Structure formats: C-alpha cells, structure tokens
Structure 1
Amino acid sequence: MKQAYADELLLTLKRAGSILKATGVPFALAGSFAAYAHGGASSDHDVDFLVRHQDLETIVSAFTDAGFRIEHPPEDWLVKAYDGGQLVDLIYRPIEIPVSDETLEQASMMSVGPLSLPVLSATQLMVHKLLTYDQHYCDFAPGLQMARSLREKINWVQVRQDTKSSPYAAAFLVLVHHLGLAPETVGTDG
C-alpha cells in the first residue's frame, strides 16, 4: 500500500473510531484493520466496523454530521460511509448473522494507531473470513495470510466448531493444518 494512501486510511480510521466512540453505541473494529491491531497485515482499501442494526440511525446521523458521505448499497448487510475517497464499512450483518451484543462483547480494547478501540478477536476474525467462502468466492490467499500472521492468537478449536457447517471452511482448515499453521486436530475429524 502506498504510504500516502495508508496515512489517509489511518486518519479515516481515527475519525470513524472517534465518531463511533462519541455516539456511545457498542461497536467493534473488524476486517483487516482488526487483523493489523492483532499484529497482522494492514488494510489496503477500507475500514470495517461491526455495529448493531438498531444503532444505524444514530451512527449514520453522527457520520453525516461529521461530513462523511453515506451510501446505502443494494447489499442489505452494511452501510458505506466515505471520508473523501476513504471508505468505512458499517457492517450490521456479516456472514448472514446479525451483529449482537454477544458479538460485540467478544471484542477487547486494543491500541489501533493513536486510538484505543474495541477490536474483534483473532478467532472471530478467522471465523468471519472462513464463513465468507462459498461456491462463488473461494480465494484462500487472504485467509492464509491472516492465519499465518495471527496463528498463535487464534483458538483453532473454536474456529473449527464455529465453522463446522461450511465445507469450504473444512477444506481451509485441512490446508492450514498441512501447512503447519494450525494444530493437528483442526484439520482432521479427531
């Protein structure tokens, strides 16, 4: 990622995080910036936050007041907020599961650049990544990068349990086992 663009995206992360904190509604940093907070690779295109659907009106109003341009895309699981050319995804239903209090309670406060923000756990990041795989999208490269960089922070047994309904996740778990990124029991039926 080019440094100037990275700096702008980090500034957007700081602005968006500050706006969300000021609203008082629960939220969590997700996506590649959450992986970055855990020691993984940084984002190259947007900032993702998990929010509850019932808080959208408050959040959208706060972002609008702060000068962000709001877009309601045809996808019915997020709202997009633009800070100039920088994108913030406000996601309320990732992986077809609504964001709940329980989802957000699993986040922990971490330093992300100059802010302390609630950040989704490495385990939940991996679960979310694996549950995006389906017959239309099955590029394991980003998931492998995440698994490689966060492997010690991921509870692989929990990942296996939370993704057991997905054959794509099962295939991924076999692969990470064979690559030595996850314990033996993760990639097998044992």
Structure 2
Amino acid sequence: MSALESDLIETTKVVAVTLKKAHIPFALAGGYAVYARGGPPSIHDTDFFLREADVPRAIDALTEAGLKHESCPEDWLVKVFHDDRLVDLIHAANGRPVTDAMLERAEEVEVGSVRMPVLDASDILIGKLLALSAHHCNMSPLLAVARSLREQVDWGRVREETADSPYARAFLTLTDGLGITAPPEGQEGTQPVHEGVYAIAGSGVSHSSSTSEEESA
C-alpha cells in the first residue's frame, strides 16, 4: 500500500470516529467503501454519505476536530480537508438523496483499526452505475468493482433501480456476457466471453483511448 493510500485510510478513520462521537448517522461510501468490502483501494479522496439535515452538525464536529471546511459550488455535497486530503460529505448522489433506509442498510466493517458503517454493496453499485454518462463512460474500473463485490450484491435490485439508464443496462449486459453476473430469468443464453477477455476486463485494463474517470459516488 502506498503512503497516500495509508494517509487516506488514516483520514477515513479520523472522520468516522469524529462522526460517531457526535452521534451523526453516516456510511462510508465511494472508493473506500469498495476497499472495505474487499475491492481495490482508492487513491483520490474518501467519501461519506449522510443525511442533508445532519450536514451542519457534521461540519461543526469535523472543524472542531481540526479539519478545514471549504465552500464548493455543488449543492449535493460539502468538502472538508484533513491536512491536504479531501473528504466529501455527500447528502445526495446522482439525483438520489441519502435516506434513513440507505444508512440502515450499511454494515459495520473494520477499516484499519476502526469499525464503521460501510455502504451496502448494492447501493455502491447502483450509485456507480447511475454515475455513468456520455462524459463519464469508462467501464473498466467499474468492472473490477463488480467482480470484487459480486457475491455481496443484490443484482435484481441493482437492475431494477438502474433500469432507466442506458449506460447501466449496457454495463449489465457486458457483465452478463463476462460471467460476472447472471442474466435475468428469461434472458439466459448469453454466452460468456472467453476467459482471457474476462481476466483482462476484471483487472481493470482498458483498450479504449478514453481515460475519463467515473464519478466517486
């Protein structure tokens, strides 16, 4: 693990402990939620989901703990910094507000030496699929996430909650063909892609000229 990854885990622990002490409901989200559930680590920032009504209290608690709050133009998150490491406090993602039900589905997982609620694997995939768009359509990293979390995901719920997104439908058709997911009942017959292609896709290697990254949440 790189020094940056270790520093981000330390930041994640500081934020989680602070929010727990303040009795603010939250869930670890984004790349470090994937990492906590067995996927590849994040090297960009750390994300937390919380309800919009709890954002002011969270800012107060974190600034008292020494983090710095900076204004941002987005109306669905706020940003705080632990030293120079970014923390996104997200109260809505891809048009979906963070709800009590979403936070209640989170599971306690040990991250570093701290146990904290981590976003449900299905909610992680739903959020990442809904982030796909004409401007953010690099599926290669998401294939690695789907492969690492596939046993933890309710794929039926994922299909249902992303059904309006043509990008999500395309991704799920791809994962069906790769053997990562099973096609819905009545749509069997898709032949898995050759194992060698599956290994390349699962590793996150992309042969596309596009290098745009997915949204975190």
User: TM-score band (shorter)?
Assistant: over 0.9
Match of 2:101 in 1: 102
Q: Name the larger-Rg structure.
A: 2
Match of 1:41 in 2: 40
Q: Distance in 1 between matches of 2:95 and 2:184?
A: 27
Match of 1:116 in 2: 115
Whether contact under 8 Å (2:9, 2:111) holds in the other structure is no
Structure 1 unpaired stretches of 5+: none
The 5-angstrom pairing of residues 146-157 of structure 1 reads 146-157=145-156
Higher mean alpha-carbon deviation, 180-189 vs 159-168, is at 180-189
Q: Deviations over 1:38-96 (max 9, x none)?
A: 11111111111001110111000011111111122111111111001111110001111
Whether contact under 8 Å (1:173, 1:186) holds in the other structure is no
RMSD: 1.7
Structure 2 unpaired stretches of 5+: 190-217
TM-score of the aligned structures, taking structure 2 as reference length:
0.83
Whether contact under 8 Å (1:82, 1:88) holds in the other structure is yes
State the Cα distance separating 1:135 from its structure 2 match.
Answer: 2.0
Q: Deviations over 1:101-152 (max 9, x none)?
A: 1111111111111111111111110000000012221111221110011111
Percent of pairs identical after alignment? 43
The 5-angstrom pairing of residues 6-85 of structure 1 reads 6-85=5-84
Q: How many residues are paired up?
A: 189
Q: Distance in 2 between matches of 1:6 and 1:169?
A: 29
Q: Distance in 1 between matches of 2:152 and 2:39?
A: 11
Query: Secondary structure of the equivalent of 2:72?
Result: coil
Which amino acid in 2 is paired with 1:31? G
Whether contact under 8 Å (1:123, 1:154) holds in the other structure is yes
Match of 2:128 in 1: 129
Higher mean alpha-carbon deviation, 12-21 vs 178-187, is at 178-187
Structure number having the greater helix percentage: 1
Whether contact under 8 Å (2:29, 2:124) holds in the other structure is yes
Match of 1:144 in 2: 143
Q: Distance in 2 between matches of 1:32 and 1:65?
A: 26
Whether contact under 8 Å (2:109, 2:115) holds in the other structure is yes
Whether contact under 8 Å (1:160, 1:186) holds in the other structure is no
Structure 2 CA distance for partners of 1:187 and 1:14, relative to 1, 3 Å? farther
TM-score of the aligned structures, taking structure 1 as reference length:
0.94
Structure 2 CA distance for partners of 1:187 and 1:135, relative to 1, 3 Å? farther
